[in-house]
Structure 1
Amino acid sequence: MQPLKYLVGYPPHLQAQVQELIAQGRLGKRLAERYPEPHDVRNDRQLYDYVQALKDRHLRKAVPLGKVVYDSKLQVMKHALGTHTTISRVQGAKLKSSRELRIATVFRDAPAEFLKMIVVHELAHLKEAEHDKAFYQLCTHMAPDYHQLEFDLRLWLTHLELEDAEARALRQDAHRENEA
């Protein structure tokens, strides 16, 4: 059995259940049944509007957002699904700061619930810097099923990685056949 890098912190019995779904070829189907709805947030402007609406609903008093974009440089393999940064600039005698959220482009094609989960996660960082109890309480305030969504997102990332590895193997096999 291959290690499940996105599920490392989860109990062995859960990992075993996931391994069983993978072995039976049912992981992707199970996720597609559970999360059939895609989203319509295709470009950076739509993403900004989507994030701003969630922020206005749950974090009205948080600092304003200067920029929200899909970022193709964020790599899922390095566990960067989204980032939050503060950019400070001097304007005259004042120091102005702007907050930016960057969401990995893999979420363009993710189910709607997974986009919401990553946006909620990054928005929570506007108020809570650390991944502590207060942070996760804020996440569950914005998305009551946050913890289930996070787990299922990890399953989805595992599924994507397995699909990618399978596609690479098929390409390599085809290449070897062409050379022979």
Structure 2
Amino acid sequence: MSSSLKYLQGYPPALLQQVGQLMAEGRLGELLQKRYPEVHEVRSDKSLFDYTNELKQRHMRNAPPLNLVRYDAKLKIIQHALGTHTRAPQQQGAKLKMRREIRVASLFREAPAEFLKMIVVHELAHLKELDHDKAFYALCHHMEPDYAQLEFDTRCWLTWRESAQ
């Protein structure tokens, strides 16, 4: 497989060939910009925290609260970390509480609105489902019905961005 399609590993060869052809013709970026013209306004860590909590409240009211949601410039996209979720025990006197954090790669500050939503939905789903299994993806699709297409298009966008640099 071509290293230029590393974000698309695991997809069928015919699909990879289509993406490769669009890239070779210089049309992948244009196609994505036409399909996803709206860039979001969620630029600050505070607005990302509010945006994430709004989605959580709408779809996962019983999920535990989040302590931190922020953009993180240190996330390594190459290592497939578009976002992360962490759980860490936190001692407060005699009580032991779980601290929950979501970090989103800072390149998503400039991403189409749908791609940011896909990443946030993915990380929120990890509050209830730790593994990428059937239940996890069912929860993702509950929160965002077009989740699978958005995940694929986000991977195409990452591929295009990297090739354009």
Name the CA distance, whole Å, in 2 between partners of 1:123 and 1:89: 20
Name the CA distance, whole Å, in 2 between partners of 1:137 and 1:22: 31
Which protein has greater RCO, CA pairs closer than 8 Å, 6+ apart? 2
Moved more, 79-88 or 28-37: 79-88
Q: TM-score, normalised by structure 1?
A: 0.89
Name the CA distance, whole Å, in 2 between partners of 1:22 and 1:61: 43
Name the CA distance, whole Å, in 2 between partners of 1:135 and 1:8: 20
**Superposed structure 1 runs of 4+ greater than 6 Å apart:** none
Q: Which position in structure 2 is the counterpart of 1:121?
A: 122
C-alpha deviations, 1:158-178, integer Å up to 9, x for none? Answer: 0011011xxxxxxxxxxxxxx
Name the CA distance, whole Å, in 2 between partners of 1:67 and 1:87: 12
Query: Per-residue deviation at 1:87?
Result: 2.2
Structure 2 segments unaligned to the other structure (5+ residues)? none
Q: Is the radius of gyration larger for structure 1 or structure 2? A: 1
Between Structure 1 and Structure 2, how many residues are aligned?
164
Name the CA distance, whole Å, in 2 between partners of 1:96 and 1:160: 40
Q: TM-score, normalised by structure 2?
A: 0.97
Q: Which amino acid aligns with 1:2?
A: S
Query: Per-residue deviation at 1:2?
Result: 3.5
Q: Which position in structure 2 is the counterpart of 1:109?
A: 110
SS in 2 for 1:65: coil
Name the CA distance, whole Å, in 1 between partners of 2:90 and 2:137: 31
Q: RMSD between aligned alpha carbons?
A: 1.0
Q: Which position in structure 2 is the counterpart of 1:174?
A: none
Q: Does 1:145 align with 2:142?
A: no
Q: Which position in structure 2 is the counterpart of 1:58?
A: 59
Query: Per-residue deviation at 1:30?
Result: 0.2
Q: Which position in structure 2 is the counterpart of 1:2?
A: 2
Q: Which position in structure 2 is the counterpart of 1:27?
A: 28
Name the CA distance, whole Å, in 2 between partners of 1:122 and 1:36: 24
